[in-house]
Amino acid sequence: MYGLRYRDFAWNHNAHYHDMLLRHVPPGARRALDVGCGDGRFARRLALRGLEVDAIDPDAAALGTARERTPARLDVHYTAAPLSGIDLEPGAYDFISAIASLHHMPLGDSLRRLDAALAPGGVLAVLGLYREDTATDRAASLAALPGQWATAAGLKLGRLLTGVPDPAYLSDMRVTDPQATLHEIAAEAGRTLPGARIRRHLYWRYSLVYVRS
């Protein structure tokens, strides 16, 4: 029931890019860390690929929801703590994800901690938010609107036809406006993670992908 009720009708700007992030999981990866896991949706997708997943989030209520929605057969371990509040084992993870979470914390320090926690050849995949600052930023925002409106209309129709209720839990997720511009994020990543690749995406998002040498 979970798959029908939430996978098909719980689209949001972050979930739109889950498949893209999953393509960066390195072959043979066995252990992953999901930073700011929220209700555990992406952590579960990692576990479905056979990874052992440590999932952290400072929001205990969100983790309560995550635990309720995670089948016992999936190897996901939830911890209610901010990134700064846990000790990460050096080189422990083959894949680390951070989805709409790094703008809640100091970027440089967080990237350094995550880099140290990656195994050689491990991948850090970030989906983040940035503060609009340029004409290009504003143009990207305008370009995202038709797609968002079309998707919202399609989901509304799907719920109407199937009787699946609106997943109101999505509106309860903690939201903080980003303070760093995309230029500032790229500059910090360049200093902290040489070789990291940053791309702007629709729906007010950017991705950062880094492979530890």
- pLDDT in the model for residue 6: 43
Starting at the edge strand that comes first in sequence, how are the strands of the sheet with 52-57 ordered? 76-80, 52-57, 31-35, 93-99, 118-128, 205-211, 197-201
End-to-end CA distance of the chain: 42
The whole-angstrom separation of Cα 136 and Cα 132 is 9
Under the banding of pLDDT at 50, 70 and 90, the label for residue 104 is very high
The whole-angstrom separation of Cα 14 and Cα 193 is 23
The whole-angstrom separation of Cα 149 and Cα 112 is 38
How far from 91 is each of 29, 56, 88, 212, 213, CA to CA, in Å? Answer: 13, 17, 9, 10, 11
User: What value does the mean pLDDT of the chain take?
Assistant: 87
The whole-angstrom separation of Cα 174 and Cα 172 is 6
Neighbours of 126 (CB within 10 A): 28
- Side chain identity, residue 180: A
Q: What is the pLDDT of residues 64-78, one digit of tens each?
A: 999 999 999 999 999
User: Which span out of 46-50, 139-143, 174-178 was modeled with the highest average pLDDT?
Assistant: 46-50
Q: Does residue 40 or residue 9 have the better pLDDT?
A: 40
Q: What is the pTM of this model?
A: 0.86
Q: What is the pLDDT of residues 123-145, one digit of tens each?
A: 999 999 999 999 887 787 777 66
